[in-house]
């Protein structure tokens, strides 16, 4: 018996209604996922920001490390590894630049000698950073402090190598020297930031 004033929905109307409901549920689910992803991304960015806040070169620290926020998460050890990798990459670039410029024709004798010294220093720094990265793979367990001290020693030595290079170029202000100084200074600052992050690591670091 059909109630007066009431018309049963047609099958086609039901299908349209069901499709609308499904679409709404999909939209809600997608929105929730996006909100969750945004929250996660925000926490990762905040972690980078807080880790860089008390470092000597915080702006460089944040700008260099923030692109890796999603892979670092909130893991201090992974952050230190990324910082070391960036330091090594910058040092290798400096090494290639200094080596190329040391072969430039027309340099004065004192320029040639000091730039060649830089080739050696930055090359040594590259080796030190490579060793520190290898040691990071063994960081943890009962030998944590010993391994951390070894890493700190190598990274500190790499900083000293860079500074020795810069000291040798201190009184030289030619275009070649300025190029080297800019490159080596950037690498040195990245190393300084990496060392600060390493110094903050504990045996309980994630």
pLDDT digits (tens, 9 = 90+) for 15-45: 554 555 545 554 545 544 444 444 447 889 9
Highest mean pLDDT among 40-54, 72-86, 96-110: 72-86
Instruction: For domain 58-199, give the CATH number.
Output: 1.20.140.40
The chain-wide mean pLDDT, for the chain, equals 85
Region of 5 (left: φ > 0; alpha: ψ -120 to 50; beta: rest) is left
- Provide the residue ranges of all domains of the chain, joining segments of one domain with +: 58-199
Q: Is the pLDDT of residue 6 over 80?
A: no
Least confident of 35-39, 148-152, 164-168: 35-39
Q: Is the pLDDT of residue 160 over 90?
A: yes
Distance CA 122, CA 91 (A): 7
Q: In the 8-state DSSP scheme, what is residue 68?
A: G
Three-state DSSP class for 47? helix
- Other CB atoms within 10 Å distance of the CB of residue 202: 10
pTM of the model: 0.79
Output the CA torsion 10→13→15→20 (10° steps).
-160
Q: Is the pLDDT of residue 2 over 50?
A: no
Instruction: Give the model's pLDDT for residue 8.
Output: 52
Contacts of 81 (CB under 8 A, 6+ apart): 133, 136
Instruction: Give the model's pLDDT for residue 7.
Output: 52
- Listed residue (134, 135, 189, 199) closest to 158, CA to CA: 189
Instruction: Give the model's pLDDT for residue 36.
Output: 41
Least confident of 38-52, 58-72, 168-182: 38-52
Instruction: Give the model's pLDDT for residue 149.
Output: 96
């Amino acid at each position: 018996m059909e109630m007066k004033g009431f018309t049963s929905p047609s099958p086609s109307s039901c299908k349209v209604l069901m499709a609308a409901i499904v679409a709404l549920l999909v939209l809600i689910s997608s929105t929730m996922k996006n909100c969750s992803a945004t929250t996660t991304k925000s926490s990762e960015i905040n972690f980078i920001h807080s880790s860089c806040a008390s470092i000597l070169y915080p702006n460089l620290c944040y700008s260099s490390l923030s692109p890796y926020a999603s892979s670092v998460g909130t893991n201090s050890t992974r952050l230190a590894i990324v910082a070391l990798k960036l330091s090594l990459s910058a040092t290798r670039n400096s090494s290639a630049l200094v080596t190329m410029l040391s072969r430039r024709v027309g340099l004065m004798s004192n320029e040639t000698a000091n730039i060649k010294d830089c080739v050696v220093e930055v090359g040594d720094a590259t080796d030190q950073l490579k060793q520190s990265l290898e040691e990071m793979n063994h960081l943890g367990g009962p030998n944590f402090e010993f391994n951390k001290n070894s890493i700190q020693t190598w990274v500190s030595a790499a900083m000293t190598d860079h500074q020795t290079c810069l000291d040798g170029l201190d009184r030289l202000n030619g275009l070649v020297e300025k190029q080297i100084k800019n490159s080596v200074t950037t690498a040195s600052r990245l190393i300084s930031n990496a060392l600060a992050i390493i110094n903050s690591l504990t045996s309980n670091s994630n």
